[in-house]
């Protein structure tokens, strides 16, 4: 294989790339979001500069991907933290666990999503929407929300989903930078709010409980179609 052929490949293995070389379109992406208050010092220990924290909040999310071009259906779960970068308000992607290798590889290699393994689930159960995360055989998180309790303004749902997101991209000894991305081309198909509860359980390989739940602030259940935009660097940690 000649050098120009190698340069044209998107990822390894060279002869069997695991994700397509284009923007990803999601159809019927379903969110369960639970925003909660946590320890300010715990947040300061994990949010990288130059991002700043205004309130000690975390958004726990479970996403059920109904249909994803190039990947198929899968589930994802994680924590994001409301932050500010200069005057812009957004979210820092702290942890993401999912059950699809190709989506894990693409998220880490093409952007800077902090993706790793896990087994999320999202399903209705006796009047509740239930989201869970298991790591191996162990339960890490359980979220419950009253099922389609009250309609949520579609504009508010859109605002929740389309805030800019930040993450740290690291390629050892080559890249260490803060990147920014944003969801685009979104269609809100349904949105609800209601009471919710969230439990996090300590696990060394999935330490979501290091950001403990003190108070549930809000919850939402949103169904959308959307496209992920490419990530762009906004801060280089290696530049001095």
Mean pLDDT of 126-141: 98
Question: Which CATH number characterizes residue 53's domain?
Answer: 2.40.400.10
Please state whether beta strands 115-117 and 88-98 pair in parallel, antiparallel, or not at all (unpaired): parallel
- Dihedral angle sign, alpha carbons of residues 29, 61, 48, 112: negative
> For residue 159, which phi and psi values (nearest 5 degrees)?
-65, -40
Q: What is residue 229's predicted lDDT score, i.e. its pLDDT?
A: 86
Strand partners, 78: 61, 96
Domain that holds residue 146: 24-165+183-227
Q: Which of 64, 115, 148, 169 is catalytic?
A: 115
Residue 141 sits at the vertex; the CA angle it makes with 156 and 209, to the nearest 5 degrees, is 95
Q: What pLDDT, in 10s, does the model give residues 146-163?
A: 999 999 999 999 999 999
Tally of structural domains, the chain: 1
pLDDT category of residue 20 using cuts at 50, 70 and 90: confident
Which SS3 state, helix, strand or coil, does residue 44 take?
helix
Output 66 or 240, whichever has higher pLDDT: 66
Active-site residue, 115 included: yes
In a domain, 102, yes or no: yes
- Dihedral angle sign, alpha carbons of residues 183, 189, 195, 196: negative
pLDDT category of residue 110 using cuts at 50, 70 and 90: confident
pLDDT category of residue 196 using cuts at 50, 70 and 90: very high
In a domain, 50, yes or no: yes
Mean pLDDT of 69-90: 96
Output DSSP code: residue 210. Answer: G
Model pTM score: 0.94
């Amino acid at each position: 294989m000649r050098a120009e052929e190698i340069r044209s490949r998107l990822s390894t293995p060279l002869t069997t790339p695991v994700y397509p070389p284009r923007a990803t379109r999601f159809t019927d992406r379903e969110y369960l979001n639970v925003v909660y208050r946590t320890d300010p010092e715990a947040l300061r220990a994990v949010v990288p500069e130059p991002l700043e924290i205004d309130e000690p909040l975390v958004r726990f999310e479970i996403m059920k991907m109904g249909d994803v071009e190039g990947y198929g259906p899968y589930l994802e779960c994680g924590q994001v933290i409301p932050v500010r970068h200069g005057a812009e308000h957004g979210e820092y992607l702290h942890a993401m666990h999912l059950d699809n290798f190709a989506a894990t590889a693409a998220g880490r290699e093409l952007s800077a999503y902090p993706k790793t393994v896990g087994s999320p689930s999202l399903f209705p159960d006796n009047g509740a929407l239930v989201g869970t995360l298991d790591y191996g055989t162990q339960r890490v998180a359980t979220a419950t929300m009253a099922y389609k309790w009250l309609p949520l303004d579609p504009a508010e749902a859109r605002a929740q989903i389309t805030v800019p997101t930040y993450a740290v991209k690291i390629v050892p000894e080559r890249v260490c930078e803060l990147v920014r991305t944003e969801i685009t081309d979104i269609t809100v198909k349904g949105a609800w709010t209601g009471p919710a509860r969230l439990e996090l359980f300590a696990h060394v390989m999935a330490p979501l409980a290091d950001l403990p739940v003190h108070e549930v602030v809000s919850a939402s259940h949103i169904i959308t179609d959307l496209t992920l935009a490419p990530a762009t660097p906004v801060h280089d940690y290696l530049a001095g």
